[in-house]
């Protein structure tokens, strides 16, 4: 009977080994393992790591109620294990690191009775261990601002150091704090909390050096002083609230006159400025004007009014801390002379004056040039009109004789060379009077004979010059 019972027993044992595998295979991928720690930690301090088995984010899977279904497996070398606690679906270990560095800690979960089975879930974290103190520098102020690292000047700041020591490793240590507020002020305290007031705006960096000392037993059964230090810093941006806007500008102006208004902001930049002209002094709504970034505490506005009336500059300014409004009334009167009406006549008058001056200048220059080159009237015209055609143009012989006297009065003295008179051709006179009659011809001949007698009665002339062909332009 024993041989027949053995196959049955072996089959039962084989099924018993497969039963623990069933839930693990089904649960694989349905759970996740979450790790939490109170690190980082300093060397010699105890650190705690907790692993929790939870359902996936879909939340549809309910964890089994049997607390002995799963087992947690840890790998934490080279950290020294100081304690371990297992619960239904979580496990916690406590370890100490004696050397600085980043150490990986891994954990996985399997079925409780099958170490070699496929893990239900696994996870990994890196634990930093340092030789320095671990902590944070915290800055706070009574006023609550929505912007991080922004604080108000002339308002007390609370600066405190928070030591990270969840294991109470430094419970017997004494601390010394060396503060540097970045504006030239330094202080040394034994308290981890100080209060400070910045009086100027700007960006400052608060630096803190912490020194911790305590007694510790040595290997030779003695005691020694152990010291650890740490350096911490925090950046602060100190600003002023906008206490108001000072407006410098005229309150009465004429149309078409450029106006400049200076805005002085009683607050710290950078600022966002927005302004608009309104009939009434009312606050600006969001999106009612185009904002302008201003990097200083002064800004100039320029505007030219085209229509008379009463106006109001509505101005809004804000920085990262606060905002403020200001108004400036101005009255615009119509101008006595419109620029367009005044400009056109002035331009026309100036153009005419310039043209007249240029004309007179050119005319005087041409006249002076003629006087220098030819001081007497044109000889050709006088020759043809007075000498040649004089007898025919004059109405009576008496007028003709008067002309002859005037011409003879212009003759040079007798002691100079005798001036020869040349009678112009008839073509000159014909061009003015037409055909010459016989009476006119005889009168002209007698006039020439009388002139010849005057020449002969004078002194003996010098040798004659070479003959010159007579023209109407010579006398």
Express each pLDDT in 410-441 by its tens digit: 445 544 444 444 444 434 333 444 454 555 55
pLDDT per residue over 189-208, tens digit each?
A: 999 999 999 988 889 999 99
Of the candidate ranges 45-49, 244-248, 429-433, 449-453, the one whose mean pLDDT is the lowest: 429-433
Do residues 46 and 169 touch, judged by C-beta distance below 8 A? yes
Given 3.40.50.970, 2.60.40.2950, 3.40.50.1860, 3.40.50.300, which CATH number is that of 245-333? 2.60.40.2950
Burial label for 297, CB within 10 Å (0-12, 13-18, 19+), is middle
Reported as a pLDDT band with limits 50, 70 and 90, residue 228 is very high
Task: Residues 24-129: name the CATH superfamily.
Answer: Immunoglobulins (2.60.40.10)
Do residues 317 and 327 touch, judged by C-beta distance below 8 A? no
| Per-residue pLDDT at 402 | 53
Joined tokens for residue 475: 């006398």
Residue 447 pLDDT > 50: no
Joined tokens for residue 128: 């930093």
| Per-residue pLDDT at 243 | 81
CB neighbours of residue 105 within 10 Å? 22
The 3 state secondary structure assigned to the chain is CHHHHHHHHHHHHHHHHHCCHHHHHHHCCCEEEEEEECCCEECCCEEEEEEEEEECCCCCCCCCCCCCCEEEEEECCCCEEEEEEECCCEEEEEEECCCCEEEEEEEEEEECCCCCCCCCEEEEEEEEEECCCCEEEEEEECCCCCCCCEEECCCEEEEEEEECCCCCCCCCCEEEEEEECCCCCEEEECCCEEEEECCCCEEEEEEEEEEEEEEEECCCCCEEEEEEEEEEEEEEEEECCCCCEEEECCCEEECCCEEEEEEEECCCCCEEEEEEEECCCCCCCCCCCCCEEECCCEEEEEEECCCCEEEEEEEEEECCCCEEEEEEEEEEECCCCCHHHHHHHHHHHHHHHHHHHHHHHHHHHHHHHHHHHCCCCCHHHHHHHHHHCHHHHCCCHHHHHHHHHHHHHCCCCCCCCCCCCCCCCHHHHHHHHCCCCHHHHHHHHHHHHHHHHHHHHCCCCCCCCCCCCCCCCCC
Do residues 93 and 46 touch, judged by C-beta distance below 8 A? no
Residue 14 pLDDT > 50: no
Reported as a pLDDT band with limits 50, 70 and 90, residue 12 is very low
Residue spans per domain, the chain: 24-129, 135-239, 245-333, 337-374, 379-457
Reported as a pLDDT band with limits 50, 70 and 90, residue 229 is very high
Place of tokens 């705690």: 48
pLDDT per residue over 108-135, tens digit each?
A: 998 888 877 888 899 999 999 999 999 9
CATH number of 135-239: 2.60.40.10
- Residues 9 and 290: their CA atoms lie apart, in Å, by 90
Of the candidate ranges 25-34, 266-275, 408-417, the one whose mean pLDDT is the lowest: 408-417
Joined tokens for residue 415: 């002691």
Residue 80 pLDDT > 50: yes
| Per-residue pLDDT at 28 | 52
Burial label for 335, CB within 10 Å (0-12, 13-18, 19+), is middle
Q: Report the candidate in 302, 332, 297 with the shortest Cα–Cα distance to residue 317.
A: 297
- Residues 368 and 194: their CA atoms lie apart, in Å, by 99
| Per-residue pLDDT at 147 | 66
List phi, psi (to 5°) of 53: -95, 120
Cα Rg for the chain, rounded, in angstroms? 61
- Residues 43 and 199: their CA atoms lie apart, in Å, by 41
Q: Are strands 223-239 and 150-152 parallel, antiparallel or unpaired?
A: parallel
Residue 174 pLDDT > 80: yes
| Per-residue pLDDT at 69 | 77
Joined tokens for residue 70: 């799963």
Place of tokens 């309910």: 62
Residue 2 pLDDT > 50: no
List phi, psi (to 5°) of 27: -80, -15
Sequence-distant (≥ 6) Cβ neighbours of residue 241 within 8 angstroms? 152, 267, 321, 322
Sequence-distant (≥ 6) Cβ neighbours of residue 75 within 8 angstroms? 105, 106, 107
Report the chain's mean pLDDT, rounded to a whole number: 75
Joined tokens for residue 370: 């003629």
Joined tokens for residue 54: 């939870």
Residue 322 pLDDT > 70: yes
Average pLDDT over residues 263-272: 84
- Residues 188 and 181: their CA atoms lie apart, in Å, by 12
- 19 compared with 52, residue with greater pLDDT: 52
- 367 compared with 108, residue with greater pLDDT: 108
- Residues 346 and 367: their CA atoms lie apart, in Å, by 32
Do residues 303 and 257 touch, judged by C-beta distance below 8 A? no
Do residues 49 and 91 touch, judged by C-beta distance below 8 A? no
- Residues 431 and 433: their CA atoms lie apart, in Å, by 6
Average pLDDT over residues 274-283: 88
| Per-residue pLDDT at 441 | 53
Domains 135-239 and 245-333 share a fold: yes
């Amino acid at each position: 009977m024993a041989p027949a019972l053995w196959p049955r027993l072996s089959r039962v044992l084989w099924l018993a080994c497969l039963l623990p595998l069933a839930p693990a295979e089904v649960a694989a991928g349905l759970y996740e393992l979450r790790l939490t720690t109170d690190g980082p930690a300093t060397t010699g301090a105890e650190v705690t790591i907790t692993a929790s088995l939870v359902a996936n984010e879909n939340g549809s899977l309910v964890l089994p109620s049997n607390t002995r279904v799963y087992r947690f497996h840890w790998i934490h070398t080279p950290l020294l294990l100081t304690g371990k606690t297992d619960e239904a679906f979580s496990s916690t270990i406590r370890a100490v690191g004696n050397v600085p560095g980043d150490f990986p800690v891994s954990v996985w979960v399997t079925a409780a009775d099958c170490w070699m089975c496929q893990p239900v879930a696994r996870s990994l974290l890196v634990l930093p261990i340092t030789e320095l103190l671990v902590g944070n520098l915290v800055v706070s102020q009574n006023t609550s601002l929505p912007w991080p690292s922004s604080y108000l000047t002339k308002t007390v700041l609370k600066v405190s150091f928070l030591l990270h020591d969840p294991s109470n490793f430094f419970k017997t240590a004494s601390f010394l704090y060396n503060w540097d507020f970045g504006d030239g002020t330094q202080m040394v305290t034994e308290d981890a909390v100080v209060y400070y007031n910045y009086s100027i705006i700007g960006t400052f960096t608060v630096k803190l050096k912490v020194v911790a000392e305590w007694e510790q037993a040595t290997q030779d059964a003695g005691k020694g002083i152990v010291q650890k230090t740490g350096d911490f810093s925090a950046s602060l941006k100190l600003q002023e609230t906008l206490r108001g806007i000072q407006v410098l500008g005229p309150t009465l102006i004429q149309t078409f006159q450029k106006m400049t208004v200076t805005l002085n902001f009683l607050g710290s930049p950078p600022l966002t400025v927005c302004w608009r002209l309104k009939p009434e002094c009312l606050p600006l709504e969001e999106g009612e004007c185009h904002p302008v970034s201003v990097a200083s505490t002064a800004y100039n506005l320029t505007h030219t009014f085209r229509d008379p009336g009463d106006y109001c500059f509505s101005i809004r300014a804000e920085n990262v801390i606060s905002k403020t409004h200001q108004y400036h009334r101005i009255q615009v009167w119509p101008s006595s002379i419109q620029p367009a009406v005044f400009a056109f006549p002035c331009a026309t008058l100036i153009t005419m004056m310039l043209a007249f001056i240029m004309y007179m200048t050119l005319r005087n220059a041409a006249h002076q040039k003629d006087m220098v080159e030819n001081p007497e009237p044109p000889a050709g015209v006088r020759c043809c009109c007075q000498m040649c055609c004089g007898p025919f143009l004059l109405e009576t012989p008496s007028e003709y004789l008067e002309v002859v006297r005037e011409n003879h009065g212009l003759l040079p003295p007798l002691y100079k060379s005798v001036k020869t008179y040349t009678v112009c051709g008839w073509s000159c006179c014909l061009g003015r009077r037409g055909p010459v009659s016989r009476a006119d011809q005889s009168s002209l001949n007698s006039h020439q004979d009388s002139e010849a007698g005057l020449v002969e009665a004078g002194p003996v002339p010098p040798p004659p010059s070479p003959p010159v062909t007579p023209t109407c332009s010579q006398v």
